[in-house]
Structure 1
Amino acid sequence: MSSSQNLGGATRCGRVVGPTLDKIIKNAAWRKHTFLVSACKSVLDKLESLSDSPDPSSPLFGLSTSDSDAVLQPLLLSLDTAYAKVVEPALDCSFKLFSLSLLRGEVCSSSPDSLLYKLIHAICKVCGLGEESIELAVLRVLLAAVRSPRIMIRGDCLLHLVRTCYNVYLGGFNGTNQICAKSVLAQIMIIVFTRSEANSMDVSFKTVNVNDLLAITDKNVNEGNSVHICQGFINDVITAGEAAPPPPDFRLVIEEGASENEKGEDGDGGTSKIMEDGFLLFKNLCKLSMKFSSQENTDDQILVRGKTLSLELLKVIVDNGGPIWRSDERQVLSLIPQDTFLSLCYMAFKS
């Protein structure tokens, strides 16, 4: 194994993954995580012999598909341990890989065996550990994944990601984390619907203003400097991606490989996958905004907060809407149930 200065070998992704694997080895409970430690050591040795060799079908830049699977496997194993000391470096590494555009591809339920699909779901799952630092790290990774122009998170996988952020907002005990979750959700809406408007993954988008998101219902979770912390959190994730353009020729490879996915027409009116996901997310927000309390629990405050959050996110979408919203109101309004539409009008009037 090489010295700590050269961990990961010569590849670009290796220089990100190598130090993480070394940290996981040092933080692992050796008796309990023998298999994980062995896997990390094996990948570190493997990375020493690899050099960047672009493969358009590979999910990890610079490596073949088989090598990518081997390199990403220890991250999945680390997340699966539910042991914070190895989960945290795995999340940090995932954040860097997404932010540097080193991970790429389409993530959807039609490919449940793909490493990217498994990685996103494993990241969402560790949010259930209930540790505040891990919650924040998960939010950071999920926003970086959505923000990356090289990752297309689609369908049920996108909804699962959004539900994970909802759960932090509704079930968290840390006020700052709750506001961060709401801010991440709002930023995701802006990114997804800006792309839907442009029918392209490569777009410029606004950065959310956290202070504008604090409704009356959220004043009680504001812990003094929460707004400042959360705004910095959002800014850091967005600028991390802006400061790290894709590697040479990486942008071209992805655009050619995904051009049919991004701009190809289906047989039912020519809606692209990017636009389909925008409409799917919009419809699900409408459904969440109309959930009603049960007879057994008519005063369900979590449900009320969830409904309110959904309406606020719908308002973020409408407020930041582009030409599609302004030129085709009938199509958009046809997607909004009457109860949701009236609630949105009320919120707009209040603001």
Structure 2
Amino acid sequence: MSASQALGGASRCGRVLGPSLDKIIKNAAWRKHSHLVSSCKSALDKLDSISDSSFSLHSPLFGLSIPEAEFVLQPVLLALDSSYAKVVEPALDCLFKLFSFGLLRGEILMMDTDNSQNNSNSNNFAFKLIDSICKVCGMGDESVELAVLRVLLSAVRSPCVLIRGDCLLLVVRTCYNVYLGGLSGTNQICAKSVLAQIMVIVFSRVEEDSMDVRNIRTVSVNDLLEIADKNLNEGSSIFFCQNFLNEVMVASEGAVDVKRSPQNAAIETRNGDAHLSNADDKGQTGNRQGNDGGESSGESKIRDDGFLLFKNICKLSMKFSSQENPDDQILLRGKILSLELLKVVMDNGGSIWRTNERQVIVSFTYLTHY
């Protein structure tokens, strides 16, 4: 690499990946993570040799072919799977930037092991990234927990990524787990705020039937804590969490230029039925395939996923204590959180979603039992 060449080469992805891979190398325990270090160095060498001219419709990384994308992302996946905070944190920061700048893109589904031919290699790899991000919450590190919440919100917020079906539920469940068992009150407030923000994002898109929704409202953390959880506030927690949300929501505005570039027009055409990037296609998503390749519901993928999320939040609000543990406080907090999230959906839902037949039936089925 010449002295004038940026670390990571000339590609947009390389300018994000390069510094992150270099930091992973410097933070790795060399004997324990020799394979990770070797993978990072190989990826850096690869990035030096490629530019945005390599293009594939199905690639998870903008401007790179599928083999190139998976090769340079492999050390990020290895870093996440290491469970070593010093290399996990730069890997999470790298993914936050890739999602926020619109460089990671496409549909992400949970892998179907019984029908693997329906899952493209690029989707498999993208799901592995999401799955590994969620799993590192189990490390028991407070800063890692916050970094995971940051990445997951940036992934949902990105107008270039459609997280679908059970994969979306995995993201929500991970945030639930941080809220119910987080390492600090601040982390728990952040998790609750991220969940509320995800509801606003998902159901704003449901209303428009498009991924390209402008001016999505940022949740007010202070208003969110009016009903419950003020006891979690650790002095400046509310201020910290509000800035946390603001940072993620604003950062994703950087995806617009990449998303609308002429080179990326083919991606817009390929993913038109999911409205990954073209607001002009509104109203043309009817009669699409249902969630995860299931039977068509007559709705778009965006609305199918919104309905799936709504139904599962309703189910969580209806969980009851067992006879062995009738005073389960974690279960009670989870039920209250679910009801608060449903209120967020109702408060932000537009006319289409409020009159959606499936949503009305689910609301009547689950919520009239209270």
Fold match, TM over 0.5?
Answer: yes
- The 3-state SS of whatever aligns with 2:162 is strand
Q: Does 1:100 align with 2:101?
A: yes
> Which of 318, 325, 332 does residue 297 from structure 1 map onto?
325
Contact 1:179–1:230 at 8 Å: present in 2 too? yes
Change (3 A) 1:6 1:331: closer
Q: Does 1:336 align with 2:358?
A: no
> Which of 202, 213, 227 does residue 224 from structure 2 map onto?
213
> Which of 154, 174, 188 does residue 178 from structure 1 map onto?
188
Query: Who is 1:347 aligned against?
Result: none
1-structure distance, mates of 2:81, 2:120: 16
2-structure distance, mates of 1:139, 1:89: 14
Contact 1:72–1:115 at 8 Å: present in 2 too? no
Query: Who is 1:286 aligned against?
Result: 314
Contact 1:286–1:337 at 8 Å: present in 2 too? no
Aligned ranges 1:23-42 → 2 under 5 Å: 23-42=23-42
Q: Does 1:258 align with 2:252?
A: no
1-structure distance, mates of 2:345, 2:4: 46
Aligned ranges 1:1-351 → 2 under 5 Å: 1=1, 6-53=6-53, 54-109=55-110, 110=112, 111=119, 114-204=124-214, 205-247=216-258, 248-249=261-262, 252-262=265-275, 263=285, 265-266=287-288, 268-326=296-354, 328=355, 331-338=358-365, 340-341=367-368, 343=370
2-structure distance, mates of 1:100, 1:65: 19
- The 3-state SS of whatever aligns with 1:245 is helix
- The 3-state SS of whatever aligns with 1:152 is strand
Per the TM alignment, residue 268 of structure 1 is displaced from its structure 2 partner at its CA by: 4.3
Contact 2:210–2:274 at 8 Å: present in 1 too? no
Q: What percentage of aligned pairs have identical amino acids?
A: 64
2-structure distance, mates of 1:112, 1:268: 20
Query: Who is 2:280 aligned against?
Result: none
Contact 1:112–1:118 at 8 Å: present in 2 too? no
- The 3-state SS of whatever aligns with 2:107 is strand
1-structure distance, mates of 2:195, 2:245: 11
Please, what is the CA RMSD of the aligned residues?
1.8
Change (3 A) 1:112 1:228: farther
Per the TM alignment, residue 325 of structure 1 is displaced from its structure 2 partner at its CA by: 3.6
Contact 2:200–2:348 at 8 Å: present in 1 too? yes
Gap runs ≥5 in structure 2: 113-118, 276-284, 289-294
2-structure distance, mates of 1:228, 1:96: 23
Per the TM alignment, residue 137 of structure 1 is displaced from its structure 2 partner at its CA by: 0.3
- The 3-state SS of whatever aligns with 2:212 is coil
1-structure distance, mates of 2:169, 2:2: 42
Contact 2:104–2:160 at 8 Å: present in 1 too? yes
Per the TM alignment, residue 252 of structure 1 is displaced from its structure 2 partner at its CA by: 2.7
2-structure distance, mates of 1:250, 1:183: 36
Runs of 4+ in structure 1 deviating by more than 4 angstroms, as ranges, are 1-5
Query: Who is 2:278 aligned against?
Result: none
2-structure distance, mates of 1:4, 1:271: 52
2-structure distance, mates of 1:60, 1:260: 20
Query: Who is 1:349 aligned against?
Result: none
Change (3 A) 1:228 1:341: farther
Change (3 A) 1:48 1:82: same
Alignment-mate amino acid for residue 335 of structure 1? V
Gap runs ≥5 in structure 1: 344-351
The TM-score normalised by the length of structure 2 is 0.88
Contact 2:315–2:366 at 8 Å: present in 1 too? no
Contact 1:176–1:221 at 8 Å: present in 2 too? yes
Change (3 A) 1:335 1:25: same
2-structure distance, mates of 1:234, 1:68: 29
Contact 2:273–2:301 at 8 Å: present in 1 too? no
Q: Deviations over 1:97-128 (max 9, x none)?
A: 00000011110124385211110011000011
The TM-score normalised by the length of structure 1 is 0.93
1-structure distance, mates of 2:81, 2:3: 28
Aligned residues: 342
1-structure distance, mates of 2:180, 2:162: 26
